[in-house]
Amino acid sequence: MYGNKKTLSSVIIAVSTIAAGFSIYYLAFYNPEKELNEIKIPVFANNEPDIVINSTLQSLNNSSLPIKFLNPVKSSQWWISDDGWSIIDPNTVSITSSVSTSNVEHQSPVNPLNPLAKELNNLISKIFLDNDFALNTLNTSKSETDNEFYDYVVAFQKDETRCILKTNGDYGEYTISCSNSFQEAYEKQIPYLKALNNRNSIVSVRERIGDFVWLNVHLRRTGYLALMKDNGEEIKLIFTGQEAPFCDLMIENQVPKEVYGACYDASGNIVE
């Protein structure tokens, strides 16, 4: 009896391994010239992000593409303004498809040079362009090998609705996101961005204590903290870094202890 169970378990493991290997092989070596992927281009009822994302989701998941997208979730979206500032829009809806990846160059299904990634980008472009969205070149990667945005990004816009298709090789994901609240986010963030004097980072308020504000500052894959004084009339940058500030700097700018908690003294010792 024990021997039969052991044999059966071995068979199940072997079959599972073969199936997983086949799935990875299929995605990695997928060739649109040999596969006929039928997709019905949706007609958006309006430009509301929820409508656009749900219509796109239904169209993609009903197609014969070898990937499926998960249900929409609330998220955020990085968008560069016409005047060159990086804005994070927190009121965004998005869908994501996570796939198995390969370490072989160009064979990962989320490598933008992979045939599957190319076809998906072409299909998404067709969906948006057929619904009168325009390609936003400022927020679109120049080529599949362009690493300005770290990920491969294709952006579309129609009136105030802004949408992005992001191919993320690090996490093995395709993400499609849309938002129509960019201007509100811009107006809230631009004073802090100008005080920071950094067009390549996004900011979000981490904590506000009286006239002092802690900000999360993020580049595409890393980040740090910034402390500013905001009295409603003027914003002053006091500190940026990933560790505690120096005590002398806090004293010089009359920052209350409750704002920074700990700091480094002149000898580099932490003072609680």
Whole-angstrom Cα distance, residue 66 to residue 200? 35
- Return the pLDDT at 157: 98
Longest Cα separation, the chain: 81
- In tens, the pLDDT along 43-58 reads 999 999 999 999 999 9
- Under DSSP, is residue 39 helix (H, G, I), strand (E, B) or coil? coil
Within a 13 Å sphere around the CA of 24, how many CA atoms are in the beta-carbon half?
13
The more confidently predicted of residues 28 and 268 is 268
Is residue 128 within 8 A of residue 155, CB to CB? The reply is no
| Tens-digit pLDDT profile for residues 136-181 | 999 999 998 888 998 999 999 999 999 999 988 777 789 999 999 9
Written in H, E and C, the secondary structure of 68-127 is CCCCCEEEEEEEECCCCCEEEEEEEEEEEEECCCCCCCCCCCCCCCCHHHHHHHHHHHHH
pLDDT of residue 107: 55
Percent of the chain whose pLDDT exceeds 90: 67
pLDDT at 22: 36
**pTM of the entire structure?**
0.80
* SS3 label, residue 159: coil
The single-letter DSSP state of residue 137 is G
Sequence-separated contacts (24+) of 194-197 with Cβ below 8 Å: 194/235, 195/228, 195/235, 195/236, 195/237, 196/226, 196/237, 196/240, 197/237
Amino acid present at 157: Q
Say how far apart CA 115 and CA 97 lie, in whole Å: 16
- According to DSSP, the β-strands at 212-218 and 86-98 are unpaired
Contact criterion met (CB below 8 Å) for 121 and 114: no
Q: What is the structure's pLDDT at 36?
A: 37
Residue 244: both structure tokens together: 């505690």
Task: Kindly list the domain boundaries of the chain, sorted by start residue.
Answer: 2-180, 184-271
pLDDT at residue 14, rounded to an integer: 42
Q: Does residue 215 register a pLDDT over 80?
A: yes
Q: What is the pLDDT of residue 102?
A: 53
pLDDT one-digit tens code per residue, 88-136: 999 999 999 977 555 445 556 667 777 888 888 889 999 999 999 999 9
Segment 193-212, tens digit of pLDDT: 999 999 999 999 999 999 99
The mean of the pLDDT values for the chain is 85
